[in-house]
Amino acid sequence: MGEILTGVLSSVLSSGLALFFVRRFFDRRDRQEEKERANREDLRSKINAGLVTLRLLSYHRMSEEIERLLDKGFATPAERRVLDEMFANYKAHGWNGDMDARLQKVYKLRTDRTPDQ
């Protein structure tokens, strides 16, 4: 009877010990995965904030350039190309706004200075 009890007790203890190590392994892995997920979320949040900043800066820079050209009264082909590149990049990010209408005003401008300017 003592041998059976010792065998059962040994079996229970060894399975309990095995269960402890298995659980410990998976708990560590779960904590590591949670940490990696939090890091990915943090990175995603920073990327989104960066994109919002880029959109604001792009809009502001294009606005400044459009207003400068409208105030000047003409836009050279080189200035239009730069503005086209800025606009293409702005649109490629899916950003929208009043830039279409404002850009059309620039396209209606002369391409060179008038004699009285």
In a domain, 117, yes or no: no
pTM of the model: 0.64
Q: What is the pLDDT of residue 117?
A: 57
Q: What integer pLDDT is reported at residue 35 of this predicted model?
A: 93
Cβ–Cβ < 8 Å for 73, 96: no
Residue 76, domain extent:
2-107
User: Is residue 86 one of the residues assigned to a domain?
Assistant: yes
- Structurally, the chain folds into a number of domains equal to 1
pLDDT at res. 104: 92
Q: Is residue 72 situated within a structural domain? A: yes
Establish if 62 belongs to a structural domain: yes
**Residue pointed to by tokens 């207003």:** 67
Averages of pLDDT over runs of 10 residues in the chain (117 residues) are 71 76 86 93 96 88 94 95 91 79 92 73
Q: Work out the angle at residue 88's Cα, subtended by the Cα atoms of residues 109 and 46, and round it to the nearest 5 degrees.
A: 130
Is 115 part of any domain?
Answer: no
114 domain-assigned: no
Domain-located, residue 84: yes
Q: Is residue 56 in a domain? A: yes
Report pLDDT for 46: 96
